[in-house]
A and B are shown apart, each in its own frame.
Chain A
């Protein structure tokens, strides 16, 4: 069974701080998503990674396939970054057991950036 563990579950920080959210998973994957979910529920895909590192504005995502671990970093955090950040993985075809191959989600990290 594919498990996706995120840490921390909750994080409150001051504006300007460097934020790191971690994600570990237990099976081989074809890709990993970092998602942002706002209070209304809508989801935005921030990154899709299968190796290495990606950067978009103040957001950086890294993945280590061998260690089955990914991190999401936010530099110069701002109150508008407050949201739930969710790690989600697509299992690889070999590890999906031939079954449905949708995303498996972590429980999310509730981030609050205080002014």
Chain B
């Protein structure tokens, strides 16, 4: 099946710094990529939807200036957590799909710890 590669798998950063997470579709062109967040013992929550070449659509309560999403090509989307805070520590996962009718494939996830 199609593969989505997410990097890094784990990252520890200091408060106030920025962290970039990459999500790549390896064998298909991802018109749409999604970014999700999962706090411990909670379900995954959609943060934002990004379509190639246009601005991301953020879910209510997600700060777009804090979580910068770039989807500059059909195979790459990045999520940058700016001015990271300990409460941003979470599991972030991306998914990608070719179009509205095809299956979504998931990256391996990134465990972010802000100290």
**A42-B108, A43-B106 known; A100 vs B59 contact (CB < 8 Å):** yes
Contacts of A100 in B (CB 8 A): 46, 48-49, 57-59
Report the nearest A residue to B109, measured CB to CB: A41
Interface size on B, residues (CB 8 A): 27
Known: A30-B101, A31-B101, A102-B34. 8 other contacts (CB 8 A): A41-B93, A42-B106, A86-B44, A100-B49, A100-B59, A103-B36, A103-B44, A105-B36
Contacts of B58 in A (CB 8 A): 100
CB of A68 within 8 A of chain B? no
Chain B, 19-33, contact with A by CB distance < 8 Å: what is the 0/1 string? Answer: 000000000000010
Closest 3 CB pairs of A and B: A102-B46, A100-B49, A102-B34
Quick check: B43 and A106 within 8 Å, CB to CB?
yes
Size band of the interface chain A makes with B: 20 to 34
CB of A35 within 8 A of chain B? yes
Quick check: B104 and A45 within 8 Å, CB to CB?
yes
**A41-B93, A43-B109, A86-B43 known; A101 vs B100 contact (CB < 8 Å):** yes
